[in-house]
Amino acid sequence: MTLLEQISPQPTPPDLRGYEYDLVIVGGGIIGLTLASALKDSGLSILLIEAKVASAAVAKGQAYAVHQLSSLIYQGIGVWDKMLPQIAKYYRVRLSDADYPNVVEFTTNDIDTALGYVAEHQALLQPLQEFVQDCANVTYLCPAEVVNTQYQKDIVAIDIKVADQLYSVKSKLLIAADGARSPIRQAAGIKTSGWKYWQSCIVAFVKPEKPHNNTAYERFWSSGPFAILPLPGNRCRIVWTAPHEEAKALCALDDEQFLAELTRRYGDQMGKLELLGDRFVFQVQLMQSDRYVLPRLALIGDAAHNCHPVGGQGLNLGIRDAAALAQVIQTAHQAGKDIGDIQILKDYERWRKLENLTILGFTDLLDRMFSNNFLPVVVVRRLGLWFLQRVPVLKVFMLKLMIGLKGRTPELAKHKRYTTAA
């Protein structure tokens, strides 16, 4: 396997002339790496292309909820044991509506396991990078940039820029894992549907005075959802949704003023808060690609869809995409079929598109139902919380839907290579 990283101003690029691969993955983030890792034993030759220097990609200051199905997928790949020491489990989720006193609490008694995990970006990305370096069938090209693609009957011709030099490779299949603004998707002419919300999200790390007790909070305010996610070292990740101008104003406050506003929404259950590092704001959007596949092309992760961050669904949908596509590709390859054939790729689209749309619609409904003070809507949503509290079957169904245990399970998630994770 070749790993090219820009550790000097002008690295020596590999000789890619005449190279042919079974598939090329554009985007070496968590989702692209997950797909490459899932195909370790597939017998397929893979080229993975990442535009950023690997160390810069790892340094991204983000954190994610990792759902149960995602953890099972990583167990099936064999990388979960490397991730787990840097990840916090949460055993309780408290769901509430502003100052409404009735709180819906999900616990491990509902599904007999940890409800989920919270991981910083590097805790997922770095083990995946290291895992891929041990995959003999994967060539990891980093940094490099795709500058042109040409779809032909039997192959895709791909021009790649490496250290100011152009190289051409051929592949049976091209995978776009290159983010919400995917140049690969746009170049292929695939349109998207959706909208930008009236809200933005503020994200920040804090350290509370009291233990977080591995509890995640989702509190809905009329301005938008407010989530508290537990991290190792008794730290927490805040995801604070508010209308654009309010979010910008909050982010512009000095640390003392910001913490005062944060405490008002956070509550005093964990004592005094300490702000760790910078805080950031980003706009929220919902997006669904009209198609996930074309002949010799498939979209996964944010290249295919985006959703509201309520419930921490975004990354998890992408992980499921990667596992599903890996299964479809490997099954076709083992049967001697062309993995770039549109009929093969449509199996993946049928599997994932409707499931993703269901979650996109559900998160949109949650945000709209809770992000307003219209009295009839307030009555309906609080009645819904009352039912969730008192009808165990409904509560368990809702929990399993949100953590990925109600859709089709990839075969990868049914076969644990390591057994440490629980």
Q: The domain that contains 84 carries what CATH number?
A: 3.50.50.60
- Answer whether 213's CB lies under 8 Å from 93's CB: no
Give CA–CA dist 224/310, Å, rounded.
Answer: 9
Beta carbons within 8 Å of 61's beta carbon, 6+ residues apart: 120, 121, 277, 278, 280
Confidence of residue 11 (pLDDT cuts 50, 70, 90): very low
Ramachandran assignment for 311, one of left (phi > 0), alpha (psi -120 to 50 degrees), beta (any other): left
Give CA–CA dist 321/349, Å, rounded.
Answer: 9
Give the per-residue pLDDT at 210.
Answer: 93
Confidence check: pLDDT of 101 > 90? no
Give a yes or no: residue 203 inside a domain.
no
Give a yes or no: residue 214 inside a domain.
no
Give the per-residue pLDDT at 389.
Answer: 86
pLDDT digit string, tens, across residues 274-297 = 999 889 999 999 999 999 999 999
Confidence of residue 8 (pLDDT cuts 50, 70, 90): very low
Give a yes or no: residue 256 inside a domain.
no
Identify which has the larger pLDDT, 18 or 144. Answer: 144
Closest CA to 240 of 251, 253, 232: 251
φ/ψ (deg, to 5) at 17:
-60, 130
Confidence of residue 56 (pLDDT cuts 50, 70, 90): low
Maximum CA extent, the chain? 66
Both tokens assigned to 319: 């992980």
Give a yes or no: residue 157 inside a domain.
yes
Domain, as residue range, for 95: 3-194+286-413
What are the residues facing 289 on neighbouring strands? 192
Count of positions (residues) in the chain? 422
φ/ψ (deg, to 5) at 268:
-105, 15
Q: Residue 17 has what DSSP assignment? A: T
For residues 170-198, one letter each, b for 16 or more C-beta atoms within 10 angstroms of the residue's C-beta and e for the rest, the string is bbbbbbbbbbeebbbbeebebebeeeebe
DSSP string, 52-78: S-HHHHHT---EEEEEHHHHHHHHHHT
Split into its structural domains, the chain has a count of 1
Q: Residue 408 has what DSSP assignment? A: P
Give a yes or no: residue 258 inside a domain.
no
The sign of the dihedral angle between the CA atoms of 151, 155, 161, 167 is negative
| Sheet bearing 116-120, strands edge to edge | 63-67, 116-120, 88-90
Beta carbons within 8 Å of 342's beta carbon, 6+ residues apart: 293, 294, 295
Parallel, antiparallel, or unpaired: how do β-strands 235-243 and 192-208 relate? antiparallel
Closest CA to 26 of 148, 190, 155: 148
Mark out the alpha helices in 272-341 (DSSP H runs).
Answer: 314-334
- The single-letter code of the amino acid at 17 is R
Helices and strands in the chain: count of H runs, count of E runs: 12, 20
Percent of the chain topping pLDDT 70 = 92
- The single-letter code of the amino acid at 177 is A
Give a yes or no: residue 215 inside a domain.
no
Both tokens assigned to 102: 């009735």
* For range 102-107, the mean pLDDT: 89
Lowest average pLDDT, out of 55-64, 95-104, 335-344, goes to 55-64
- pTM of structure: 0.92
Percent of the chain topping pLDDT 90 = 70
Give a yes or no: residue 178 inside a domain.
yes
- The single-letter code of the amino acid at 30 is I
- Cα angle 194, 198, 203; round to 5: 100
Give a yes or no: residue 278 inside a domain.
no
Burial of 255 (0-12, 13-18, 19+ CB in 10 A): exposed
Beta carbons within 8 Å of 2's beta carbon, 6+ residues apart: 14, 139, 140, 141
Give the per-residue pLDDT at 419.
Answer: 38
Give CA–CA dist 68/58, Å, rounded.
Answer: 23
pLDDT digit string, tens, across residues 248-265 = 999 999 999 999 999 888
Give CA–CA dist 47/36, Å, rounded.
Answer: 9
